Every structure is written in structure tokens, then in C-alpha cells.
Amino acid sequence: MVEEEFQEDLTAAATETLSVVAYAGPISRAQIEYIRGVNSSFILRSLMMRGLIERNSDPKRQNVYLYTASFELLKKLGLDSAAKLPDYAKYRALIDQFFSRQNETE
């Protein structure tokens, strides 16, 4: 049953989450959920089990994990770095501006 789930195509929500992680990573679950506006725990777990994203501890904060695109994902896309994603610099700048504004309002 579980193996069949991983052979299915990604859902729209999983693709959206994967895009957020690929362009914004390293990124926390809370930040992903803030961008998407919905709980992303199940989708993050599924993407990790598929080997498409990786989770590492945040060195600055205990009990917080940061998500990044996995080497396996980059390999499937034919890339050696997330920075080589289409329009990476443009979207990364927009994401950085988004979080800068969020931090200013807090």
C-alpha cells in the first residue's frame, strides 16, 4: 500500500510545497505554512519519504527543522544546485522580501 502511494504522481499541494522548499530552502515548517496558508506537516512527511526533500536541525533554534531540496530531487531535475532552478534569483529575492516585511511587522 505505501509503495503504491510513492509511485503515484504528486498532488497539486505536494508540488506547491516542493516548489516552496526548493526555492526558499532552507525553510522551516512554520514558514512553509505561512506562505501556503495551510498545514503542511503531512505533505512534508510524504516528500521526505519520497526522498525529494531533506530535514535538518536549525542550528539557531532548538526543536526547529529546516527543509531543503534533496540531492535526489536535484538529480531528477538534472541540476547540481537549487540555485540553477528556473528564475531562482528572481523568486529567491521575492521570498526574501516577503520574510523581511513579515519580520518588520512583528
Which domains are assigned to the chain? 2-105 (1.10.10.10)
Residue 7 pLDDT exceeds 70: no
d(CA 15, CA 69): 12
Query: Residue 18: phi, psi to the nearest 5?
Result: -60, -40
Residue 5 pLDDT exceeds 60: no
Encode pLDDT of 51-95 as tens digits. Answer: 999 999 999 998 999 999 999 999 999 999 999 999 999 999 999
- pTM value is 0.85
Buried residues in 64-81 as b, exposed as e (16+ CB within 10 A)? ebbbbbbeebbeeeebee
Q: Is residue 84 classed as helix, strand or coil in its secondary structure?
A: helix
